[in-house]
Amino acid sequence: MSDISITKARTIIRKALATGRELGLKPLSVVVLDAGGHVKAFEREDGASPGRFGIAHGKAYGSVMLGMAGKAQMARAESQAYFMAAINGVYGGQVVPVPGGVLLRDKKGGVIGAVGVTGDTSDNDVIAAMAGIEAAGLIGEA
pLDDT in the model for residue 40: 98
Q: Let me know if 1 is exposed, middle or buried by CB neighbors in 10 A (0-12, 13-18, 19+).
A: exposed
pLDDT in the model for residue 28: 98
User: Are the CB atoms for 69 and 142 separated by under 8 Å?
Assistant: yes
CA distances from 84 to 19, 58, 81 (A): 31, 13, 5
pLDDT in the model for residue 99: 97
Q: List, for residues 27-65, the tens digit of each pLDDT value.
A: 999 999 999 999 999 999 999 999 999 999 999 999 999
CA distances from 15 to 19, 25, 114 (A): 6, 13, 15
pLDDT over threshold 70, residue 1: no
pLDDT in the model for residue 118: 98
Q: List, for residues 2-17, the tens digit of each pLDDT value.
A: 789 999 999 999 999 9
pLDDT in the model for residue 142: 95
Task: Label residues 77-112 b or e (16+ Cβ within 10 Å = b).
Answer: beeeeeebeebbeeeeebbbbbbbbbbbbbeeeebb
d(CA 70, CA 89): 18
Q: What is the CA radius of gyration of the chain?
A: 14
Q: List, for residues 57-111, the tens digit of each pLDDT value.
A: 999 999 999 999 999 999 999 999 999 999 999 999 999 999 999 999 988 889 9
